[in-house]
A and B are shown apart, each in its own frame.
Chain A
């Protein structure tokens, strides 16, 4: 199977190049990550991140034939040859397919992704009704792979100011949580032309999320609550 892989070592190379690989796959190689591991055994200078190899850790996100996704859950059979692999767009490249995710995580941390509740914690746990718990479905499953934020044009233009789809999904996860008491502060923090309102509902984020989540819907919900609060 033929591959064209982005190669760049900022310390040595003046500019990135696309390197061609032709690998003989084994019948057990089903996912793109299997092929990448095989390529790496041929050419160990190729750098990439991976860990869980089952779509749980979010470390092998990359741009696959023009679309962001996780290599470990992308079927080789579905890919058109030569398979073009590039690092996630819009973030600084550390080496080959490895990008510097600091900006992405900085935005994630900026929404205070933890439960805020001033009441003393009960002996066992803070209880929630099944209906309240249901609100968190489609929000808590995010694995922070950054496929969405790095496919969002608004995040490309203002990664330092726009929270991005992953961060906003997480923000809504805590706004929607019946146990969280900081809703107003959270809304205040997002009532900003950059932090939330750079989103123009382009929906690239929904298109790429490997976990099938819908950040655009979460962003819409945040706006809905803001309107309720205002009018």
Chain B
């Protein structure tokens, strides 16, 4: 019997690009964070809280978190594609990963905007 392998999902480039763009966002945020720690030297709860009460900083942090989750999704899916051979198991694991990442994203929003 000839085993036919269906391919041609017509995506791949978008994810590959997203992986690179999200990596840049994370790198920029990390540098920004390092500069803040070096220059502003937030040392106690009060100064950290003041930092996170800026709306722009919350947004930047959220952007970082979303980039991280999106990046993680592509990376984890790549690992599953490489190593998990059963389609059913792969699909189940992918769904679990997506649900977990969406939950983390919502949780990040809650944490960032709960600082008053």
B9-A194 in contact (CB<8A): yes
A193-B17 in contact (CB<8A): no
Judge if A197 is at the interface, Cβ distance under 8 Å.
yes
B7-A161 in contact (CB<8A): yes
B10-A192 in contact (CB<8A): yes
With beta carbons under 8 angstroms apart, the residue of A161, A196, A198 that contacts B5 is: A161
CA distance A188 to B11 in the complex (A): 10
With beta carbons under 8 angstroms apart, the residue of B3, B5, B11, B83 that contacts A193 is: B11
CB distance from B90 to the nearest CB of A (A): 12
Decide: A188 near B17, CB < 8 A? Known: A158-B82, A200-B78. no
With beta carbons under 8 angstroms apart, the residue of B3, B9, B81 that contacts A198 is: B81
Which secondary structure dominates where chain A touches chain B? loop
Taking CB atoms, residues of chain A closer than 8 Å to B16 are: 197, 223
What per-residue 1/0 map shows which CB atoms of B47-86 lie under 8 Å from chain A? Answer: 0000000000000000000000000000000100111000
With beta carbons under 8 angstroms apart, the residue of B3, B7, B15 that contacts A194 is: B7
Taking CB atoms, residues of chain B closer than 8 Å to A227 are: 13, 17
A195-B81 in contact (CB<8A): no
With beta carbons under 8 angstroms apart, the residue of B8, B11, B13, B78 that contacts A223 is: B13
Judge if B12 is at the interface, Cβ distance under 8 Å.
yes
Decide: A198 near B7, CB < 8 A? Known: A192-B12, A223-B16, A230-B13. no
Taking CB atoms, residues of chain A closer than 8 Å to B81 are: 158, 193-194, 198
Judge if A226 is at the interface, Cβ distance under 8 Å.
yes
Judge if A105 is at the interface, Cβ distance under 8 Å.
no
CA distance A8 to B15 in the complex (A): 42
A193-B9 in contact (CB<8A): yes
What per-residue 1/0 map shows which CB atoms of A171-208 lie under 8 Å from chain B? Answer: 00000000000000000110111111110100000000
Interface residues of A (CB under 8 A from B): 153-154, 157-158, 160-161, 188-189, 191-198, 200, 223, 226-227, 230
The 4 closest A-B pairs by CB, nearest first: A197-B12, A193-B12, A157-B82, A226-B13
